[in-house]
Amino acid sequence: MRNSPSTLTRRRLLATAGSGSVLALAGCSAPAIETRRTDSVQFSPDGSDSLAVRNPNGGVTVTSGDGDAVAVEMTVRGYGVDESLLADVTVERSVSDGTLVLEATYPEGASRITTGLDVRMPQSMSLSAAETRTGGIEARGVGGDPTLRAGDGGVTARRVDGYVTLEATNGGVEARDVGGIDGATVENGGVSVDVPAVRGDTEIRTTNGGVEARVGPDVDAAFEVRASNGGVDVGGIELADATKSPSRVAGTLGDGGPSLTISAGNGGVEVRSLDS
């Protein structure tokens, strides 16, 4: 069910950049002028206790702050397009199963337009998801068990009071000071994560890139680290029934439990204790 946008406050600034904002687009023989619009919008949660943010083309940053509304700062950029098209880029709201969903929408057929979303949500809400096809994702100082997904861009989670799932196609992923890891997967890019806890079978993997993981001392898991084209380096953690080779280390962490698999296709893997 999609509701009409709910706007508490709104301000708009339309500006055409001067000579300092001339950039050449890939595949174009001549530079294009950047046109920019900034916009501030606030949305009432209307009883929703969690938030999801979707942006087809541009980065997303989510933080928490004071106040009862979800505040969104939009920065819309067009390259070599009519600036009137920028006014047609909006953030729409809907509510699904108690989750407030905010999604950037673009005029039909529009290209060469990107939108950066800086979202600040009330501390009473949790983050369930943030995703983009083109751009990076960053979540800082929020609660919840979010899935953070980027197509072309990196994913970062910092000070997230919950279990995070990180996914990127072309870009690295990073998790620091999180409650736990549900998964971290990358096609092209590196992985650098803290793993203070797991609660089910957990995969940390990159196809092309290296992995650095710091595992908490209280993790109980069936542990395996492997690299197809690269070495593995595991140190500072206690493994029972360990088997080791240059490309694979396996054993039992703590009392055992769900699987914790850390792997790299083309790259090395380094695992250390989170306490070290």
Does 271 have pLDDT greater than 70? yes
Does 260 have pLDDT greater than 60? yes
Nearest to 83 by CA among 11, 32, 29: 32
How far is residue 99's CA from residue 157's CA, in Å, rounded to a whole number? 20
pLDDT at res. 7:
36
pLDDT at res. 20:
36
Does 161 have pLDDT greater than 90? yes
pLDDT at res. 36:
92
The pLDDT tens digits for 117-143 are 999 999 999 999 999 999 999 999 999
The partner residues of 99 in beta bridges, in order of sequence, read 50, 96
Does 18 have pLDDT greater than 60? no
pTM of the model: 0.87
Does 226 have pLDDT greater than 50? yes
272 three-class SS: strand
- In this structure, the dihedral spanned by the alpha carbons of residues 83, 88, 89 and 93, taken in order and rounded to 10 degrees, is 160
Does 11 have pLDDT greater than 70? no
Does 80 have pLDDT greater than 60? yes
The pLDDT tens digits for 85-105 are 899 999 999 999 999 999 999
Q: Phi and psi dihedrals of 166, rounded to 5?
A: -115, 130
Mean pLDDT of the chain: 89
Which residue did the predictor score with more confidence, 234 or 26?
234
Which residue did the predictor score with more confidence, 155 or 6?
155
Q: Identify the weakest region by mean pLDDT among 16-20, 23-27, 219-223.
A: 16-20
Which residue did the predictor score with more confidence, 65 or 7?
65
pLDDT at res. 111:
82
How far is residue 184's CA from residue 168's CA, in Å, rounded to a whole number? 8
21 three-class SS: helix
Q: Where are the domains of the chain?
A: 1-133, 136-276
pLDDT at res. 276:
76
pLDDT at res. 32:
61
Does 28 have pLDDT greater than 60? no
Please list, in sequence order, all residues whose beta carbon lies within 8 angstroms of the beta carbon of residue 134, skipping any fewer than 6 positions away: 56, 57, 58, 114, 151, 152, 153
